[in-house]
Structures are given as C-alpha cells and as structure tokens.
Amino acid sequence: QVQLVESGGELVQAGGSLRLSCAASGRTFSNYNMGWFRQAAGKEREFVSLIMSNGFSTFYADSVKGRFSISRDNPKNTVYLQMNSLKPEDTAVYYCAAVQGLFSTRAREYDYWGQGTQVTVSS
C-alpha cells in the first residue's frame, strides 16, 4: 500500500502563487509515477500534471502549461506542484496519485490517491 497526503492548498488571489506538496509513505516512492489531478465543483476530475518515477519526464495539461510545474524529491518521498499566475478557473480540490508502469493522464489508471487539498483563487 501507498499512502498519500496532500498539503498546501489555501485561498489565494488571482495572479498569485502556491506550492502543493504530496507526501508518500508505504511502498518505495521512487518506483511510482506521480500525477496531480483536480476536481472543481460540479465538474469531473481532470488531469493536471504527471512526472516519471525518475523525474526525467513531465507532462502538463494545456490549461496549466507554462504556469504550473511538477517536481519530486525521492529521498523525501514527496512530489510538488508549483502553481504560478493562478486564475479563478484553477479553483478546485487538488489530488495527487501514484501508479507503477504507466505514464497516464487518465485518473482511473492510478492506483493510490490522497484525500485532496482545496485551492481557492479569488478574483
């Protein structure tokens, strides 16, 4: 089992920045590809970003490309999502997720999920 706990979500003004963290425990963190997803009120969960287990490759949704960046610190068992130039449309619950053997943007292909952290961007 892998346990994931997100943190860092809060209320921020449009144009501001925020860094989310996802702390992992259990199985070897470095074996997992990690993804960030978000779910706004009344909408389906959508892909935000992912990073390979070794950190060499990353991928972003078009809606956040150029504004968000994903990174990981394997010795600390932590993945981060740096969010810059935040927009009200970024308001959502943000989730991190883990999977082995896949480089996927599809939420249902991830095996482990955190409980989410709320990000609210005011206008």
Q: What is the pLDDT of residue 28?
A: 81
CA distances (Å), origin 24, targets 20, 51, 69, 81, 98: 13, 15, 19, 14, 9
Q: Do the bridges between strand 2-7 and strand 11-13 make them parallel or antiparallel, or are there none, so unpaired?
A: unpaired
State the Cα–Cα distance between residues 104 and 90, nearest whole angstrom. 21
State the Cα–Cα distance between residues 6 and 76, nearest whole angstrom. 14
Query: Is pLDDT above 80 for 27?
Result: no
State the Cα–Cα distance between residues 50 and 60, nearest whole angstrom. 7
81-122 pLDDT, tens digit each? 999 999 999 999 999 999 998 999 999 999 999 999 999 999
